[in-house]
Copies of this chain bind each other. A is one copy, B any other.
Amino acid sequence: MEKESPDRRIQRTRKVLHAALIELILEKGFDKVTVQDVIQRANVGRSTFYSHYKDIEDLFLSGFENLWSLFEQHLTGQSVEKAGVWDLSLVVFQHAQSYTGVYRALVGKQGGNLMSTHMHKYLSALMRETLKDQWDASKQVPLEIVVHHLASSLIALLTWWVEHDLPYPPERMNAIFQQLTQPAIESMLA
């Protein structure tokens, strides 16, 4: 018996494509990976690839979405509802540690800066939520800029951390992030 339902085959195909992509990014960086490479490594037909994804960037982003939804589960799963910016960032560092391999492939130079763009978008949204009630238009620095700054800083720090092979534990990294950003925020809120 042991038949395989169509859906399961589809899931399987997507999984091997993602896995192949991660492998190849780690080997030579996202920019150098071609569709050719991926389908060969994944042992998948050319047309099969294109029936699932528009192009290689689409595959990449789909992988990132998966990762992000795991991150969101991690987030709601373990912290109190109304978390602050630095609760959020802690989860980011912890999550990155849990999935070191994947992060190494996606973050920074290897990931072709593609992930940074998307992660920035999602992170900004979350951070805006945590800050928007404490902020009013009279502040000297627009909320938009502050959020942009915090997201960028977190990603920059994360990238540094991953590319240096996680030399400190997540909690230490988060403490650093806090030391680097909190004083400015506090003084503005004062």
A residues near B (Cβ < 8 Å) are 109, 113, 116-117, 140-141, 145-146, 148-149, 152-153, 156-157, 160, 175-176, 179-184, 186-188
Asked whether A180 lies within 8 Å of B184 as measured between CB atoms, the reply is yes
Q: How far is the CB of A149 from chain B (nearest CB, A)?
A: 5
Known contacts A113-B113, A179-B184, A184-B179; is-contact A148 B141 (Cβ 8 Å): no
* Structural contact, A156 and B148, CB atoms closer than 8 A: yes
Q: Contact at B160–A156, with CB atoms within 8 Å?
A: no
Instruction: Please state the number of chain copies in the assembly.
Output: 4
Residues on the B chain within 8 Å of A146, using CB? 180
Further contacts, 10 of them, CB under 8 A, given A140-B175, A145-B176, A156-B156? A113-B113, A113-B116, A140-B179, A145-B157, A145-B180, A146-B180, A148-B156, A149-B153, A152-B153, A183-B183
Neighbouring B residues of A188 by C-beta, 8 Å: 179
Contact present for A141 and B184 (CB under 8 Å): no
Give the chain B neighbours of A181 by CB distance below 8 A: 184
Provide 29 A-B residue pairs closer than 8 Å at the C-beta atoms, listed in order of the A residue.
Answer: A109-B117, A113-B113, A113-B116, A140-B175, A140-B176, A140-B179, A141-B176, A141-B179, A145-B157, A145-B176, A146-B180, A148-B157, A148-B160, A149-B153, A149-B156, A149-B180, A152-B152, A152-B153, A152-B156, A153-B153, A153-B156, A156-B156, A179-B184, A180-B184, A182-B184, A183-B183, A183-B184, A183-B186, A183-B187
* Closest chain B residue, CB of each to CB of A175: B140
> Which residues on B sit within 8 Å (CB–CB) of A160?
145, 148
Q: Quote the shortest CB–CB distance from A47 to chain B (angstroms).
A: 13
